Structures are given as structure tokens and as C-alpha cells.
Structure 1
Amino acid sequence: MANIASQKKRIDRALRERDENRRYTSKVKTYFRRLEAAVASGDSAVAESEHRILVATIDKAVKRGALHKNNGARKKSRAARILSATAAQ
């Protein structure tokens, strides 16, 4: 454990930031599962809505710094591929 006051504050801040980043990444994973479930059900309207929410969430996570921009772009591309499976069905 740190002895310097500023380092104690920095540790607390790092924990808060880590928790916030985990909230974003967890939310992205949840929306991926919801998108996959909507595609599996065959309801294209619901799938489109879930895709829109997922892309917005990914953009917010990238803007906040919880995800790297390339990671966000890869996830959005993956989401688009999953959504296009609805059109193929």
C-alpha cells in the first residue's frame, strides 16, 4: 500500500476508472448477446433496433476511452456481420 497521499488518491481514482471501463465493456457484451438472440429469433425489426443500440454503446465506450478505436471498429464490423445474417435468412 502506498504511503504518499497523492499516490493513495491515484489508486482510488484508478479503481473508479477501472469500474467505469468495466461497465462499458460489460454493456457492450450484453448488447452483443441481445443482438445475437434477436437475429436467432428472426425478427429483423428487433435486430435492427438492438444493432443501433449496440453501435451507439460502442461509440460511447470508444469516446470515453474504455475501448481502443480499432477495437471498437472491429466490434462494430462484427455486429454488422451478425445483423446481415438476418437479411440472409
Structure 2
Amino acid sequence: MPNIKSAIKRVKTISTRTLRNAAAKSALRTAVKKFEVAIAANDANSAALLKQANRALDKAVTKGLVHKNTAARKKSRLTKKFNQANLSA
């Protein structure tokens, strides 16, 4: 544990930010997983879930959780899965 007042504050700040970032990242992964499960089950709701997943990725970029290129790659892959599922259906 640090002795300097500013260092003590940084430890507290970092711990709260870590919890917030972990929760946001978990929500992001949940949104992506819901979409992938819906695609696998040929769910009719997959278009809405794709929109939610893309939105979650965009929010993660603005909050600094994910790099913008990583988000773009994931969005591209999710859209590709969606298009292939609709093409075969």
C-alpha cells in the first residue's frame, strides 16, 4: 500500500476504473455471444442482435476498451456471419 496521498488516490481510482471496464467488457462479450448464438439457432431476431452487438463495439471504442481497428474487424466478421446465414436461409 502506498504512503503518499496522491498514490493512495490513484490506487482507489484505478480499482474503480478496473471494475467499470471489466463490467463494460463483459457486456460487450455478452452482446456478441447473444448474436452468435442466435445465428447458430437461425433466430429471426438476429438482425436486432447484430445491431446491438455493433453498438456495443462502438461504445467500447469510445470508452477506450477496444481499439477501433479491433472493433471494425469484429463488426465486419459479425456482419459476414449474418449475411451468410441469410444467404443460405
Name stretches of at least 5 consecutive residues in structure 1 with no aligned partner: none
Per the alignment, residue 35 of structure 2 pairs with: 35
Letter in 2 for 1:43: D
TM-score (norm 1): 0.88
Q: Which has the higher contact order (CA 8 A, sep 6+)?
A: 1
1:22-79 CA deviation, whole Å, 9 max, x = no partner?
11211111112111111112124x1100000011111111101111112211221121
- Which structure's residues are more often helix, by fraction? 1
User: Over aligned residue pairs, what C-alpha RMSD do you find?
Assistant: 1.3
Per the alignment, residue 11 of structure 1 pairs with: 11
Aligned residues: 88
TM-score (norm 2): 0.88
Q: C-alpha distance in 2, partners of 1:9/1:53?
A: 36
The offset of 1:88, in angstroms, is 2.7
- Percent identical among aligned pairs is 31
